[in-house]
Amino acid sequence: MTDLAYVNGQFLPAENAVISINDRGLQFGDSVYEVVKAYGDKPVLMDEHILRLERSAHALNISLNGIIEEIDRIVPEGLQRTGFSQTIIYIQLTRGTQPRNLIFDKTIKPNLIATFRPYGLDLASMRSNGIKVSLYPDIRWAHCDLKTTNLLGNVLMKNKANDEGCFEAILFTEDGRVSEACSSSVFVVKNGVLLTTPSSENILPGVNRKYVIDIVAPQLGIPVREEHTFKDDLFTADEVFLTSTTFLVMPVIEVAGQQIANGKPGPITMSLVEQFEKNIHN
Ligand code: PDD
């Protein structure tokens, strides 16, 4: 089965899926999105992704008329049509189509597009080796709490990190506080406590970040504090890890060329990996 797409009411092979050149998502990044992982026919934390999509769309005044019902219909159907063992579902809702104009027409109908692709990361080896990350000033805009496709800063920084042989980049604001990473949330482990950036307009409220805070860490009796860390705290951390839909929990072994602790995935991180996996497969 090739990658599957869905565009405004129709499933079709991804390579044949097209959208207008006047789509505002294309022209302005005027759109919101979610990335969801599924095991077989079971999407992980779907309700939380839908809640965040609703929040992002409301904040931008993108109409959700009938959209959530449509997503609820197409996700199971797309998973059934593809039958991949693990799927990355990409859902994007653009404000709609109109001749290019910064001022949007309040009456246009949003475009709902989605893709269903087989999951491509070798998680087992990434987790057992841990990943290296770069460290950069956060150059993004002032509403990183909204999951919009306005992602140029993330794109440029993640490519720079990639060119440096790193999988991700951790970002810090002007005062040196860690915000998040290009497409994941950041946790620092210090003296047995998980520290992660408090929710604000500077970070995306990560679904997996919240699941670690609310469910996985408490299950293991690991205390969590939503508290700012500074970039130097990364180098003295006992462990650093990232969370994201695409890898759940991922140990970081090196930041900006400097080894974290003994340069191996840490025991607290690995216990979170194991417990998280256990929860979603039950
Ligand atoms: N990114 N921070 C940013 C900037 C992100 O783009 C993401 C997710 C996260 C983690 O959020 P969650 O746990 O809800 O996946 C944090 C997705 C996977 C992406 O854009 O591909």
Mean pLDDT taken over the chain: 98
d(CA 66, CA 17): 22
Token pair recorded at residue 146: 């909204």
- Output the CA 244–ligand 1 centroid distance in Å: 5
Give the containing element (helix H, strand E) for 230.
none
163 with 83, same domain?
no
Q: How distant is the alpha carbon of residue 41 from its chain centre?
A: 20
DSSP 196-217: EPPSSTTS---HHHHHIIIIIH
Catalytic residue among 37, 147, 158, 231: 147
d(CA 138, CA 172): 5
Among protein residues, the one whose CA lies closest to atom 9 of ligand 1: 184
176 with 90, same domain?
no
269 with 235, same domain?
yes
Q: Please state the pTM of the whole predicted model.
A: 0.97
Instruction: Please report, for the domain that includes residue 235, its CATH number.
Output: 3.20.10.10
What pLDDT was estimated at residue 235? 98
212 with 189, same domain?
yes
57 with 101, same domain?
yes
Residue 221 CB partners (closer than 8 Å, separation 6+): none
Q: Residue 272: pLDDT above 90?
A: yes
CA 240-246-249 angle, to 5 degrees, is 30
Q: pLDDT band for 194, please (50, 70, 90 cuts).
A: very high
Q: What's the domain range around 67? A: 4-120
Q: What is the mean pLDDT of residues 272-276?
A: 98
- Output the CA 243–ligand 1 centroid distance in Å: 8
Q: Residue 1: pLDDT above 80?
A: no
- Output the CA 201–ligand 1 centroid distance in Å: 14
Q: pLDDT band for 282, please (50, 70, 90 cuts).
A: confident
Q: pLDDT band for 84, please (50, 70, 90 cuts).
A: very high
Among protein residues, the one whose CA lies closest to atom 4 of ligand 1: 183
Is any ligand 1 atom within 6 A of the Cβ of residue 169? no
Q: Residue 238: pLDDT above 90?
A: yes
What pLDDT was estimated at residue 129? 98
